[in-house]
Homo-oligomer: A and B are copies of this chain.
Amino acid sequence: MASTIDDLGRCAIHTMTNKPWSLAQCIAGYQKIGAGGISVWRNVLEAQGAKVSGKMLRDAGMVVPALVRGGFFVSADPKQRQSAMDSNRVCIDEAREIGAKMVVLVVGAVPGMSLEEARKQVTGAIATLAPIAQDAGVKLAIEPLHPMYAGDRSCINRMTEARHVCEQVGHPGVGIAVDVYHVWWDPNLQEEIALAGKQGTLFAFHVCDWRLNTRDLLDDRGLMGDGCIDLKTIRGWVEAAGFDGFNEVEIFSSEYWATDQDAYLEKIRAAYLKHV
């Protein structure tokens, strides 16, 4: 049984949810609806840089669960892999600057390489980055992506494979970001969530919904309640595993991005209270 939710104190919103907005607009909007947290995508740091962004976030008193996103470690070309590592070091440094608790990792995949081989590259990269992230006071959260992204975005498509990487790396700063959009269908979800709780790797919980008749593989996520995911049941599993962090709203939706973002935020607030 999920706990009762009466307000948005434990709600964090991903800035990409309101793609048309700047960081300042996101901060103002999320504070207006009472969200306690904000997870920041790197694109909204560009205008003013990480240092100034960090000051804006601290001045606003917003908790920053995550900077999104690092990763994309996989390549057949060693130079590209090195370039990805450099980019991830910058990302970790930005996370430190803005006070983000973790960097979310979309680990990557490339056509022509087996997913198994790709996961080996990912494991090596994360093992290298873990102590660097620890020095920066930042955790690394592997986000399993839906199998429909296995072609070129992520070779980790279930919590099981994310766990295997965590177990192999064996560093307390490496864990898992559970996004319902990607894993809701997984028959092993409940047991993997419980296991992540026991292993101390349950770092994040992302919510949105899976629309029936999804029209686009990337940008047609549903607002909570728009689709078929049993959010309360999954949140119950996550809480039973000991998770007490933020419920992070992360919705990519061309449809919602085209609407008035203030009115949309009101919908998010209502949907969060009713369906999460």
Contact in complex: A187, B158 (CB < 8 Å):
yes
* The one of B148, B160, B211 that contacts A146, using a Cβ cutoff of 8 Å: B148
A115 on the B face (CB < 8 A)? yes
Number of copies of this protein chain within its complex: 2
A111 contacts which chain B residues (CB < 8 A)?
212, 227-228
Contact in complex: A214, B217 (CB < 8 Å):
yes
Q: Identify which of residues 129-154 in chain A touch chain B, using a CB-to-CB cut-off of 8 Å.
A: 146-148, 150-152
A161 on the B face (CB < 8 A)? yes
Inter-chain CA distance A190–B185, complex, in Å, is 21
A230 on the B face (CB < 8 A)? yes
Q: Is the interface of A mostly helix, strand, loop or mixed?
A: loop
Which residues of A are in contact with B by a Cβ distance under 8 Å? 111-112, 114-116, 146-148, 150-152, 157-158, 160-161, 184-187, 210-212, 214, 217, 227-228, 230, 233
By beta carbon, the residue of chain B nearest A229 is: B151
Contact in complex: B146, A161 (CB < 8 Å):
no
Give chain B nearest CB distance to A179 CB in angstroms. 14
Contact in complex: A152, B114 (CB < 8 Å):
no
